Amino acid sequence: MRTILFILQKEFTQIFRNKSMLPIMFVMPIVQLLVLSFAATFEMKNIKMHIVDLDKTPQSRAMISKFKGSKFYTIVNYSDAYKIAENDLKTNKADIILQIPQYFERNLSKEDKASVQLTINAINGSAAGLINAYTFSIIKDFNSNILMDTYGQKLEMPVQTNTSFWYNPQLDYKTYMVPGILVLLVTIIGLFLSAMNVVREKEIGTIEQINVTPIHKYQFITGKLLPFWIIAMFELAFGLLIAKIIFSLPVLGNVGVVFTVASIYILAILGLGLFISTITNTQQQAMFIAWFFMVIFILMSGLFTPIDSMPDWAQKLNIINPIAYFIKVMRMVLLKGASFKDVLNQIIALSIYAIVALTLAVRMYKKKI
Partner 1 sequence: MKRFKGFVIKEFYHIFRDYRTMVILFGMPLVQILIFGFAISTEINNAGIAILDNSKDAVTQKITNKLLSSGYFKLEANLSDYKEIEPMFRKGNIKEVIIFENNFAKKLETEKKANIQIIADASDPNTASLITSYTSNIINNYQLEMMKNQQLPMQINPEVKMLYNEELKSVFMFVPGTITVLLMLISAMMTSISITREKELGTMEILLASPLKPIQIIVGKVVPYVFISFMIAVIILILGFTVFGMPVQGSLFLLMSECLLFILMALSLGILISTVTQTQQTAMMISMFALMLPTILLSGFIFPIENMPLPLQVFSNVIPPKWFIIIIKNIMLKGVGLGYIWKETLILLGMTLFFIVLSVKKFKIRLS
Q: Does 186 bind partner 1 (CB under 8 A)?
A: no
| Binding residues for partner 1 restricted to 198-217, rule: CB under 8 A | 200, 203-204
**Cβ proximity to partner 1, 192 vs 275, nearer residue:** 192
**Cβ proximity to partner 1, 13 vs 46, nearer residue:** 46
CA distance 179 to 253: 13
Q: Does 176 bind partner 1 (CB under 8 A)?
A: yes
Find, among 355, 183, 187, the residue nearest to 273 by Cα: 187
Q: Does 369 bind partner 1 (CB under 8 A)?
A: no
- Binding to partner 1 by CB under 8 A, coded x per residue (else -) over 322-341, reads ------x--xx--xxxxx--
> Cα angle vertex 365, ends 360, 367, to 5°?
150
- List the one residue from 9, 102, 150, 359 that touches partner 1 (CB under 8 A): 150
Phi then psi for 99, rounded to 5 degrees? -110, 120
Q: Does 40 bind partner 1 (CB under 8 A)?
A: yes
CA distance 29 to 23: 9
| Binding residues for partner 1 restricted to 230-289, rule: CB under 8 A | 280, 282-285, 287-289
Q: Coil, strand or helix: which one is 211?
A: helix
Q: Does 54 bind partner 1 (CB under 8 A)?
A: no
Q: Does 103 bind partner 1 (CB under 8 A)?
A: no
- Binding to partner 1 by CB under 8 A, coded x per residue (else -) over 339-358, reads x--x----------------
Which residues on neighbouring strands pair with residue 98, listed in sequence order?
51, 118
| Binding residues for partner 1 restricted to 3-32, rule: CB under 8 A | 18, 20-21, 24-25, 28-29, 32
How many residues are given for the chain? 369
CA distance 296 to 289: 11
- List the one residue from 17, 152, 161, 368 that touches partner 1 (CB under 8 A): 161
Burial (CB count <10 Å: 0-12, 13-18, 19+), residue 44: middle
Find, among 55, 141, 144, the residue nearest to 101 by Cα: 55
- Binding to partner 1 by CB under 8 A, coded x per residue (else -) over 124-143, reads xxxxxxx-xx-xxx-x--xx
Q: Does 91 bind partner 1 (CB under 8 A)?
A: yes
